[in-house]
C-alpha cells in the first residue's frame, strides 16, 4: 500500500477563524483553484494531489466513487469524504485498482442532550414502514454520482441560512437520554419564514415531508457531493429544478423532529456525512468561531 504525499508547495488562504481553504500543489502562477479544507479526521475531508503523469480513470474509497478536481494547469486532486464512524489510523483508497493510503487522526466531538416528543424519540409501530421507505429514498439521494458541474471550478459554498449555529457537526446526541447517531450536519437557528438559499449550483433530486426531518430537500452538486436541508416551513423549488448559488429554495421552519425553528444542513460526499464548514468561504458574523480540528 502506497502513502500519497502532498506536494511540497502549500499556500493557505485564511478567510476567517472559522474556516480555511487551501491551494495545494506545485501549480504555475496562473493556477488559482481554491479547494475545500483538508481535515483528515472522522467527519472531515482528505484533499489528495494526484500524479500529473497518469490521469486516473477511477478512484474509490469504502467502495464509493470519489470526487476529483482539476485546474487549468492540469493539476488534479481527489477530495474524499471521511465518515464519522471511520476508525483512526491508516485507511486505503483505490486508484485504478491500486491501493494507496492516508492517515486519519482522532477528533473528540461534544455531547448534546435534547428532550423531544415521545412519538419522535420512539416512533409508533404504524410509522415504521414510512420511516424505512424515507430512509431508502435518502440513501438513494446520498449515493447519487452524476456529472453535474464536472467541468466547472469549485466555488466556496454560501451559507444557506443566516443565524447562529445552534448545534455543530458531530455532536453525540441523546434524545430523552437515549443515545442516537452523531449529528450529521449543522443546525442554524433562524426565524420562522427566513430564506434558505442554495450554497452552490446544482439540481434538486429529492423533496418531501419526512417523519423525522419534516419538509426536506436534497441538492446534487455533482460527483457524489450532495446537500440536504431539513425542518423547512416551505419548499420554494421542486424536484428536477436546477438551482444557482444564492437562489431561494425554501424557508426556515420546525417541521418533523424539531424543538424550534432552524435549518438542519447536511453535506455528504461519497456517501459520507462531513463537516459543512469545510466548504464555506466565510462564516456568518452571527455565530462564534468553532474549532475544526
Q: Is residue 138 domain-shared with residue 201, that is, in the same domain?
A: yes
Tally of domains within the chain:
2
What pLDDT shows up at residue 55?
63
Same domain, 133 and 168: yes
pLDDT, tens only, 44-96: 999 999 987 556 679 999 999 999 998 888 889 999 999 999 999 999 999 99
Same domain, 79 and 219: no
Task: Please give the model's pTM, rounded to 2 decimal places.
Answer: 0.83
Long-range contacts of 88-97 (CB under 8 A, 24+ apart): 88/42, 90/1, 90/3, 91/61, 92/1, 93/59, 93/60, 93/61, 93/66, 94/58, 94/59, 94/60, 94/61, 95/50, 95/56, 95/58, 95/59, 96/56, 96/57, 96/58, 96/59, 97/58
Q: Tens of pLDDT along 197-215?
A: 999 999 999 999 999 999 9
Name the domain boundary from 104, 119, 147.
Answer: 104
Q: What is the CATH number of the domain that holds 260?
A: 2.70.70.10
| Residue 187 and residue 250 in one domain | yes
Q: Domain limits at 173?
A: 111-279
Who wins on pLDDT, 177 or 165?
Answer: 165
Q: Is residue 288 part of a domain?
A: no
- Whether 124 and 242 map to the same domain: the answer is yes
**Which set of grid coordinates corresponds to residue 186?**
449543522
* End residue of a domain, out of 76, 104, 132: 104
Do 54 and 185 fall into the same domain? Answer: no
**One domain, residues 195 and 231:** yes
Of the three residues 80, 104, 128, the one that is the final residue of a domain is 104
Question: 213 with 188, same domain?
Answer: yes
Amino acid at each position: 500500500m502506497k502513502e500519497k504525499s502532498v506536494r511540497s508547495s502549500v499556500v493557505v488562504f485564511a478567510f476567517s477563524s472559522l474556516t480555511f481553504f487551501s491551494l495545494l500543489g506545485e501549480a504555475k502562477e496562473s493556477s488559482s483553484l481554491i479547494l475545500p479544507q483538508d481535515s483528515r479526521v472522522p467527519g472531515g475531508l482528505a484533499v489528495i494531489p494526484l500524479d500529473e503523469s497518469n490521469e486516473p480513470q477511477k478512484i474509490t474509497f469504502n467502495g464509493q466513487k470519489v470526487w476529483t478536481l482539476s485546474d487549468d494547469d492540469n493539476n488534479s486532486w481527489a477530495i474524499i469524504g471521511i465518515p464519522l464512524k471511520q476508525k483512526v489510523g491508516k485507511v486505503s483508497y483505490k486508484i485504478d485498482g491500486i491501493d494507496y493510503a492516508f492517515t486519519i487522526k482522532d477528533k473528540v466531538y461534544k455531547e448534546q442532550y435534547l428532550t423531544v416528543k415521545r412519538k419522535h424519540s420512539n416512533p409508533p409501530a404504524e410509522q415504521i414502514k414510512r420511516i424505512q421507505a424515507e430512509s431508502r429514498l435518502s440513501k438513494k439521494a446520498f449515493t447519487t454520482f452524476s456529472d453535474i458541474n464536472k467541468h466547472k471550478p469549485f466555488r466556496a459554498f454560501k451559507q444557506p441560512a443566516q443565524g447562529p449555529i445552534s448545534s455543530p457537526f458531530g455532536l453525540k446526541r441523546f434524545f430523552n437520554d437515549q443515545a442516537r447517531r452523531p449529528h450529521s450536519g449543522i443546525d442554524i437557528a433562524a426565524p420562522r419564514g427566513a430564506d434558505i438559499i442554495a450554497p452552490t449550483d446544482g439540481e434538486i433530486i429529492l423533496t418531501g415531508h419526512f417523519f423525522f426531518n419534516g419538509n426536506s430537500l436534497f441538492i446534487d452538486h455533482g460527483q457524489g457531493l450532495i446537500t440536504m436541508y431539513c425542518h423547512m416551513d416551505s419548499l420554494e423549488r421542486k424536484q428536477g429544478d436546477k438551482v444557482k448559488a444564492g437562489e431561494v429554495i425554501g424557508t426556515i421552519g420546525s417541521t418533523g423532529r424539531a424543538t424550534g425553528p432552524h435549518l438542519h444542513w447536511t453535506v455528504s460526499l461519497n456517501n459520507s456525512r462531513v463537516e459543512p464548514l469545510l466548504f464555506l468561504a466565510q462564516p456568518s458574523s452571527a455565530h462564534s468561531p468553532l474549532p475544526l480540528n
